A = this chain, B = another copy of it.
Amino acid sequence: MPKVVDADQYRKELLYQSLDLFAEKGFANVTIRQIAKALGISTGALYHYFPSKESLFEQLVEELGHQEVLVLNSAMATRKTLPKRIEILGQLLLENREILVKHTAIWLDFYQHSQVETILNNRIFQRIERQSREAIAELLGIRDFRLARFISVSIDGILVDQLGKNDSTIFAEQVALLMEMLITYFDKYPEKSSLNS
């Protein structure tokens, strides 16, 4: 049944094509017409693929979450030492700055937007947040989940700072500082990472 595969594939393409619009203007400030125009289809067609604006946005959030986990996991195969792995994490951030900032914009928007529907949305959200942190934990050999959360949270802070800025110099400088902090920290508390043993 190639038809279904195609439709799913097309739906995903539509999601990614709407990413920039949502990231730039936010869910509430983007209209269905704008999205349809950006996608080169009619509003009717858009509703054929997504039952509502909200659903489109949620599927985008979910898709971005999956992608993020994939990228993080792609760095995992390595067998390097802890400092090298920290460097790999930094590289990952630098290489994906643009897309990560967009993720962050979407993410925050989703947060605001979801406080209402609460349950379903937060389930999705929390699962992806957890997977993402587990990937970081595994990459750096961290057993203390609080530490993994801290790293994740710091990265988010750096990304949030980039919103509406797109200043890669500041980004690089902040990532470098985070890496430096982590190295210093793991130097002092080597037991925090299983890679040091």
Residues of A within 8 A of B (CB): 24-26, 28-29, 105, 108-109, 111-116, 122, 146-147, 149-150, 153-158, 160-161, 163-164, 170, 173-174, 177-178, 180-181, 184-185, 187-189
- Cβ contacts under 8 Å, A163 to chain B: 108, 111-112
Known: A108-B163, A149-B170, A150-B178. 5 other contacts (CB 8 A): A105-B112, A111-B163, A115-B164, A146-B174, A156-B157
Dominant SS among interface residues on chain A: helix
Looking across the interface, which residue of chain B has its beta carbon closest to that of A186?
Answer: B184
**Roughly how many angstroms separate A164 CA and B181 CA in the complex, as a whole number?**
28
Chain B residues near A115: list those with CB within 8 A.
24-25, 164
Contacts A25-B112, A156-B161, A161-B156; A181 near B170 (Cβ below 8 A): no
